Chains A and B, each alone.
Chain A
Amino acid sequence: MNPTRVTWAMIRRYPATTAIFIAVIAIAVALGIGISAQERALRQGSTAAADRFDLLVAAPGNPTEIVFNTVFLRPSAVQLMDPEIVSKALTDPRVEYAAPIGYGDNVQGLQVVGTIAQFVDRLSNGLGDGRMFEAAGEAVVGASVPFKIGDKLVPLHGSSAFADEEDGEDEHEGHHHYELTVVGHMKPTGNPWDRAVVVPIETLWNAHGLPNGHAEGDAKIGPPFDPARVPGLPAIVIKGQTVADMYGLRGEYKTPQSMAFFPAEVLLQIYDLLGNIRQVMSIMASVTQVLAFLAIFAGVVALMKLFETQFAVIRALGASRTYLFLSIWLFASAIVVTGVVLGVALGYAVAAYASNLLQRMSGVALTAAIGPDEVQLAVLGGVAGIVLATVPAALLYRRPVAAYLR
């Protein structure tokens, strides 16, 4: 028995209608696949982006805001840590390094971030080109920054994190009258630091008229810092000597004057929220899929009614009911399978496009991919559709033959 010839004839008889049915299913499936793939891309991208930010210490406030400020370089006005806590953290003997993070200026819209060479090295895992900054006027730029080594940059004041400590003039955008020379390029990091101009923290402290962490007139950069000459900071990234040190430091800096947390803690909360949103949207997508299947199969039943005489003839010629059942079921299943396959492709395309768009907007490397979750979703949708495809077949295959031959 081979009913595919009849199935093929049905498809050829109504190509436009069949195409519309397939498109509806493809869109419904793409919705679920796109949401799932995009959510995972966001999770993986943000995890990778925050991977090298071991322990964050900041003034009490919203940890999510600090993660967004320091990891994702989306600065907002946050409270600065007390200089006493900053100097304690920067000189703590249990740390492998403590990287002060300062920001507030920009060059052609690119964030100017102040930190120490050791942290740049950890983020970038060695430079891609040039050398590390060695003086206050030097800068290392992220992999996506178009500046060349030797370029001179004049930063503009943006929404300064140091605003609280500065005079009113600095709260508005304008020149700081300092110049940077690009001396190196970082390797791609997959996070927004790829689009940053990274300078010694002292450069920003100097530019904002703050103590620069060293003795008056000392042009030295990087640790060790003079505890008496350290200003307030938005955040410090700390890597402890040992894992136990990390947890010890985390506990120690959870005080009324400071908070300490692993970025993963914040990300997990975000993922939890994302997961809930994803779950709700996945349920909505599944419901949409089922509704699409039901609508399509109602359409298939209506369409097949136009074939009733043809079906009666096929039966009259000696075809079994099974042959007819399979013809209709294959037609509906072909629509489902084609729709699901196209839906997966469309879902991937949408997720890839959205990832690309978000990557350009955020700087976080996002890679949308079809993983086991999406395959499972597609297979489940396909199987459900193929099972539901028996409904129109079951409704039509038992029709009396003689009635449609007159």
Chain B
Amino acid sequence: MGEGAPPVLTGRDIAVSFAGKTILDVPVLAVQPGDLVALTGPSGSGKTTLLHVLAGILRPDRGSVVWGETDIARLRQAASDDWRYRNVGLVFQEFHLIDQLSPVHNVTLPATFAHFIVPPELHRRAQGLLDDFGVPADAHLTRTLSRGERQRTAIARALLLEPSILLADEPTASLDEDSARQVTDTLIASARGQTMVIVTHDPIVMERCRRIIRLEHGRIVNDDAREPAKPSVTEAAT
């Protein structure tokens, strides 16, 4: 997907330092539209830092991070927040749902960033996503869900506003193998034309990605394009 098209992401000379030490140094990074990229590498290799830079959560010390025509490294805070709201869906390792809210309210939470009352179509979309992902719609509180259900709720939250970019930070790391497979299926299946970058160590996830970028000591040491594995039964069913 997107072969030959201009890259949707072009990063140049990206560097992040912490306490005087360079923890990320990426001279160039290009991602095609709709690509499915796994960022892998040992702990402390800069995967999450790079993901945060790509999400506009962390401003690099230098370099440019151009998504489409927007260099998010140069955006002011408010503009960066707004860009992320409009373009990025995020999934975290520990789900980071609000336990005191219902799954639907968690999924529709991003809608409250811009709306006083959640528009009915977004509410319906949230319900639909939860139904598609097999999360009990009648669950009163999110904390009553299983870990796999919670991560699928988090994916639904990331997809609510139909972002063009989906970024995930070790989405299966805290799940058992079955749940990890289900969540991976859900995540990959939901990427309908979206560009997806996933930080992961998980072979289940990596085998489903088209491109695997390996980082060590903050640098890209390997960048492999490959044919992804076929979807599992779960994804085929969806």
Contacts and interface: CB of A to CB of B under 8 A. Distances in A.
Do A and B share a complex? yes
Residue of B55, B85, B86, B98 contacting most chain A CB atoms (<10 Å): B98
Given A9-B98, A405-B52, A316 B90 contact: yes
B112 A1 contact: yes
B29 interface: no
Given A317-B90, A318-B85, A318-B88, A2 B115 contact: yes
Interface in A373-394: none
A321 interface: yes
B98 A316 contact: no
A113 B15 CA distance: 97
B77 A321 contact: yes
A9 to B, nearest CB: 4
Interface string B77-119: 1100110111010101000101111000100011011111100
B110 A317 contact: yes
A360 B56 CA distance: 71
A177 interface: no
A318 B115 CA distance: 13
Interface stretch (A66-74, A293-301, A306-314): A306-314
Contacts of A13: 99-100
Given A309-B96, A317-B90, A2 B116 contact: yes
A320 interface: yes
B96 A320 contact: no
B211 interface: no
Interface string B188-212: 0000000000000000000000000
B57 A401 contact: yes
B113 A1 contact: yes
Contacts of A402: 49, 52, 57-58
A2 B105 CA distance: 13
Given A2-B117, A9-B100, A406-B48, A320 B58 contact: no
A345 B114 CA distance: 37
Interface string B115-148: 1110000000000000000000000000000000
A364 interface: no
Nearest to B113: A319
Nearest to B49: A402
A307 to B, nearest CB: 10
Interface string B21-61: 00000000000000000000000000011001001011000
Interface in A5-24: 5-6, 8-9, 12-13
A280 to B, nearest CB: 44
A75 B49 CA distance: 85
A317 B113 contact: yes
Contacts of A8: 100
A318 B82 contact: yes
Contacts of B105: 5
Contacts of B115: 1-2
A13 B141 CA distance: 12
A316 B98 CA distance: 14
A32 B115 CA distance: 40
A317 B109 contact: yes
Contact of B81 (A2, A6, A321): A321
A316 B84 contact: yes
A15 to B, nearest CB: 10
B219 interface: no
A323 B85 CA distance: 13
A315 to B, nearest CB: 7
Contacts of B82: 318, 320
A400 B55 CA distance: 14
B150 interface: no
B109 A405 contact: no
Nearest to A317: B110
A406 B170 CA distance: 11
Interface of A: 1-3, 5-6, 8-9, 12-13, 309-310, 313-321, 323, 401-402, 405-406
14 contacts: A1-B113, A2-B115, A2-B117, A3-B112, A5-B105, A309-B96, A316-B57, A317-B113, A318-B81, A318-B110, A320-B78, A321-B81, A402-B52, A405-B57
Given A315-B81, A316-B55, A316-B84, 18 more contacts: A2-B117, A5-B109, A6-B109, A8-B100, A9-B98, A9-B100, A313-B96, A316-B90, A317-B84, A317-B110, A317-B157, A320-B78, A321-B78, A323-B112, A323-B113, A402-B52, A405-B52, A405-B169
